[in-house]
Chain A
């Protein structure tokens, strides 16, 4: 299974439908235009005026080209890498010419650049950008990305392991059946933790894992832990980096439930809205202002893993809202290639 990002191995095309890629291109081109304007004009004011004038043409042409590249990408993906790159080069060079010609004919007689100049300018820009993405892919090669992902692997608190083992031991004599279930939950959890978690998994799998974890916590916390699930609208097949939800729930219990003697409520709300998947986890804030340092570390870890998989398309927000602490993750909706088959069953 390919990871769903544009940090793909060399030989994989830049994805121009990606927000991260598009933003980088627009910024690069505008920066280039600014520099060109500064070189052309003696004063900053003149340069700014020229830049604005040129941008008025440049921006729509650029967006039009990016749209063309995005639309053409399913076709280009079928070609081999050099051929597809050539295809992108041709598209990147000719679309602006096509765009300016159309604009010229139907709308207003713009004569900022000749056709030859447009071809030259867009050829240079396209070459530079394609080279940049090629090199970037190399720098973020699978080896590098995987090493970073591995270093970022979620770790469970040792405190949790020993308390859970203790809770299981307390059941062995009196309730062997529940002890069995608890040990099964524990092995499922540790299997997931020890797997080299580089590949995306489905929401369904991640929820199952979280339930196994919650089963163990329920054992020792009893009625102090109340969990509310809002997942009837959850897209079960959506892809997500493994061990994103479970550590957040672990945090919610560690900071929100364990420090209080009265029962507390954790809620999980997972839904799809358009092309994004939303995961919202809430827990009560601890009574006394306990340190949230460990929490920050865990959030940073998850944020970085989301970025490695989805670049700028995913984000994580955490905030306190009165007596409640909330973590909200948004990530792009994508699904396994073969519907119904999870990535975990196709493990190596």
Chain B
């Protein structure tokens, strides 16, 4: 454990429920007798947690898993893109599968209600998360992300899934198109399709489009070019491959 004269361990508390955050604060304060701790703030959602982490750069985050919208595991996934990611300690009320995944991948976690001595132990050995551990957690908790993230000049950029018009694979990267701009992302189209298959449809070997943004499918002027697809809020026309056209019709019925 840390000696009291060391610089304090700076903590962020994240939970969507107010009583849970209040309780966590009490337990952290109880631990402050033996550990040098400082609470930098609280957040009540995944999105505000990410903003708060970038603002106050805490050493560790106590992160609730089950939250509306962006859940704790997704927050941890996006944190991988941050320059100095904090250590993550998950908190959960009861989750058999997640806890198994934690054990197997040596991820720090605490069961709610949290006890002071457990928290102290977890804080004294808090560490970062590995990519493989995170992937395993996601497998135990299958849920599509609400945002995609990338790092731009050391800053975390979040792209809400509902703003994305299409993904297009080109060489090593995926281009993400929203109505306002384009982003480049290192991902595979196959994995994106697996995760967002409910919201995005494949229209071409290299292109996934947002299902609810499709406004029109036209025949191309030259018959051998097949069909062209129009998306809401986009001037560009996207080519539909012959192979995907039938599947697309089927999916949109």
Contact = CB atoms under 8 A, between A and B. Distances in A.
A169 B18 contact: no
Contact of B23 (A161, A169, A259, A287): A169
A170 B19 contact: yes
B97 interface: no
The main secondary structure of chain B at its interface with chain A is loop
Given A260-B68, A261-B68, A159 B26 contact: no
A171 B26 CA distance: 11
B93 interface: yes
B19 A219 contact: yes
A229 B232 CA distance: 42
> Number of contact residues on B: which range applies?
20 to 34
Contacts of B126: none
Interface in A170-193: 170-171, 173-174
B68 A259 contact: yes
A170 B22 contact: yes
A159 B92 CA distance: 9
A279 to B, nearest CB: 27
Interface in B130-180: 144, 146
Interface residues of A, number: 25
A134 interface: no
Contacts of B146: 288
Contact of A170 (B20, B66, B94, B144): B20
Contacts of A222: 17-18
A169 B94 contact: no
A259 B69 CA distance: 7
B95 interface: yes
B20 to A, nearest CB: 6
B198 interface: yes
Secondary structure at chain A's binding surface: helix, strand, loop or mixed?
A: helix
B116 to A, nearest CB: 12
Given A162-B94, A261-B68, A220 B17 contact: yes
B19 to A, nearest CB: 4
A313 interface: no
A169 B19 CA distance: 8
Interface in A267-303: 287-289
Contacts of B16: 261
B86 to A, nearest CB: 23
Contact of B113 (A159, A165, A173): A165
Contacts of B112: 162-163, 166
Contacts of B93: 158-159, 162-163, 166
A289 B20 CA distance: 27
Given A259-B68, A289-B198, A159 B23 contact: no
A336 interface: no
B111 interface: yes
A269 B27 CA distance: 41
Nearest to B95: A159
Given A159-B94, A162-B112, A261 B69 contact: yes
B45 interface: yes
Given A159-B94, A173-B26, A220 B20 contact: yes
Nearest to B22: A170
B14 to A, nearest CB: 14
Given A170-B26, A261-B68, A162 B113 contact: yes
Interface of B: 16-20, 22-23, 26, 45, 66, 68-69, 93-95, 111-114, 144, 146, 198
- The 6 A-B pairs at the shortest CB distance, nearest first, are namely A170-B23, A170-B19, A162-B93, A167-B19, A158-B94, A170-B22
27 contacts: A157-B94, A159-B93, A161-B94, A162-B94, A162-B111, A162-B112, A163-B20, A166-B19, A166-B20, A166-B23, A167-B19, A167-B23, A170-B19, A170-B20, A170-B22, A170-B26, A171-B19, A174-B22, A221-B17, A222-B17, A222-B18, A258-B68, A260-B68, A261-B45, A288-B144, A288-B146, A289-B198
Given A166-B20, A170-B19, 6 more contacts: A162-B111, A220-B19, A222-B18, A258-B66, A261-B16, A261-B45
